[in-house]
Amino acid sequence: MESIWSKTCNIPPRGALRGNVETEVAVIGAGMAGLLTAAALQKAGKQVVVLEANRIGSGQTRYTTAKITAQHGLFARKRIQALGEDRARRYASANLAAVEAYRALIRAEGIDCELEETNAYVYGDDRRQLEQEAEAEARLGLPASLVRDPDIPGGAAWAVRVERQAQFHPLKFLKAVSEPLTIYEATPVRRVEHHRLLTASGTVRAEHVVFACHYPFVNFPGLYFARVHQERSYVLALENARCPDGIWIGAESGGYSFRRYGDLLLLGGGGHRTGENHAGGHYEALRMQAARWFPDSREAAHWSAQDCMTADGAPYIGPYAKSRPYWYVATGFEKWGMTGSMVSATLLCDRICGRENPYAEVFTPGRLDAEAVRAIAGEGGHAIKGLTKQLLQLPIEQAEQLPRGHGGIVRLHGKKAGVYKDENGVIHAVDVRCPHLGCQLEWNPDEKSWDCPCHGSRFDFRGKLISGPAQNELKWPCAQSMDF
Ligand SMILES: Cc1cc2nc3c(=O)[nH]c(=O)nc-3n(C[C@H](O)[C@H](O)[C@H](O)COP(=O)(O)OP(=O)(O)OC[C@H]3O[C@@H](n4cnc5c(N)ncnc54)[C@H](O)[C@@H]3O)c2cc1C
Ligand code: FES
């Protein structure tokens, strides 16, 4: 699965960490959040080292649609409700400032990343809903207005337009941002003990540690597992498909997202909680919609990704936990991680440099209001369901019964196992207990992967870790692949 971004940009490889180093700041993760934060700190005069488990930009950032906007879908009334008007206004101001910060950085450094200024829209048919959203966005300081009959595939009655937002090529941007930074690739951080980061090939000692690894993988302290889950969605890049100007997202759940990249239309949709894709068919559903709207289109690429979602819809950016004042986190971007990453860079740089920031309190991970507590209780419910399944649910299939090309939970040699039978009839068996906190993994037929419904860890059918919070591969209870 390659996105249009990774097909059109090569970032030169970096070596892995060898031995022990000391630095002022260690950043874990070379995605959009980690690299922007590292770059801001380095410019502020700090000595920074970035540790990346795989390659620069190889996490979720490689699969984004890279819209840079402070209009986060149908967000304004929801944020006012969850955060109160004053904090919601600061949330919006921080994101508007992030859009400007991209523009300024790209201009100042002459970064060739195909930045285009454009309008952002959220569209739908419910006039009252969109009128109220336009009014709320304007109250929060966005240049928002209501538009009638927007010209988009499938049509819509109304849209809220926010002017002067942007889109770009995220990996070309990261390539330029990463150039002056000290980055160790293929260096997963296994453990963090206060100021020491342990990897298989060396240790980093740092005054400050930034967790920009998408989902924070240290469970205690912080308890992020109780307040962050992940949601996936799917993208098709289409040739020969008419694309409206601007960046678009549907107001209704199940709505579609559109943007243009060169001659391609990027059509997104099919969001769901990671680990809850039992029936699959998300790419097929998008393809059917594309065939209806653009019968002459051709698919140039398809991909999917996931992002971290928080209890109140605002990211967690700031100190990791009270007991670790020298650890920081940037997570929970709710599929708006381009501006979220820039907000993280500004807030964390100010914090580490000892400067006040007017937006810090809105994003602080230490916040806990009534809405958040309710959502946390909901997360607990999901975890209990996942754990109960692991303990009590009996396998429903025998390996012999699985058709080729399918996966499922079966009884194999007297044990519960996750099994994928490939097109040649070879069985690949893994332990379906998630190494993060033990929930039962679910088969994802679209990606041929094992996904965790609790916090969204993913593994390929051989058990190799795709993304965390889990940090280990799946064990092989039956330790084999065999023919059936
Ligand atoms: C389909 C889809 C479309 C999206 N479109 C948009 C959009 O148009 N606009 C927008 O604003 N947002 C969008 N988003 C959200 C955005 O893409 C993400 O929020 C953002 O890319 C997250 O960046 P990140 O740096 O936090 O994570 P990542 O890019 O995942 O980076 C984290 C890095 O940490 C590394 N890592 C993990 N664990 C370790 C470890 N133990 N040691 C060392 N390294 C580690 C990983 O390998 C990874 O490279 C979209 C999301 C999805 C799912
Ligand atoms: S990701 Fe937490 S238990 Fe699986």
Q: What is the pLDDT of residue 477?
A: 57
User: In which band, very low, low, confident or very high, does the pLDDT at 121 lie, cut at 50, 70 and 90?
Assistant: very high
Topology (CATH) of 397-483: Rieske Iron-sulfur Protein (2.102.10)
34 alpha carbon – ligand 1 mean position (Å) = 9
What pLDDT is recorded for position 479? 43
Chain-centroid distance of CA 69 in Å reads 16
For helices 85-109 and 337-352, give the axis angle rounded to 10 degrees.
90
Give yes or no for residue 243 having a pLDDT over 90: no
Q: What's the pLDDT score for residue 242? A: 87
Q: Give the pLDDT of residue 175.
A: 98
Pocket of ligand 1 (CB under 6 A): 28-34, 51-54, 58-61, 63-67, 188-189, 212-214, 217, 233, 235, 268, 305-307, 333, 335-341, 468, 471
Which-ligand-closest: CA of 269?
1
Provide the pLDDT for residue 415. 82
Q: Is the pLDDT of residue 155 over 70?
A: yes
Number of alpha carbons in the 13 Å side-chain half-sphere of residue 170? 28
**Hunting for tokens 């309008």 — which residue is that?**
119
How far does the centroid of ligand 1 lie from the alpha carbon of residue 305, in Å? 8
Given this model, what pLDDT does residue 318 score?
98
Sign of CA dihedral 6, 11, 15, 20: negative
Contact 222 CB / ligand 2 (< 6 Å): no
**pLDDT above 90: percentage of residues in the chain:** 86
**CA 325 to centroid of ligand 1, rounded, Å:** 24
Domain positions in the chain are: 397-483
Alpha-carbon distance of 442 to 51, in angstroms, equals 30
Answer yes or no: is the C-beta of 470 below 6 A from any ligand 2 atom. Answer: yes
CA-based Rg of the chain, rounded to a whole angstrom?
22
* Beta-carbon contacts of residue 248 (< 8 Å; ≥ 6 apart): 120, 121, 122, 123, 150, 152, 159, 256, 257, 258, 259
Q: What is the pLDDT of residues 64-90, one digit of tens each?
A: 999 999 999 999 999 999 999 999 999
3-state secondary structure of 239: strand
Q: Measured between alpha carbons, how far is 61 from 31 in angstroms, rounded to an integer?
A: 6
Q: What are 373-421's pLDDT values in tens digits?
A: 666 666 666 666 666 665 556 566 677 788 899 999 998 888 889 999 9
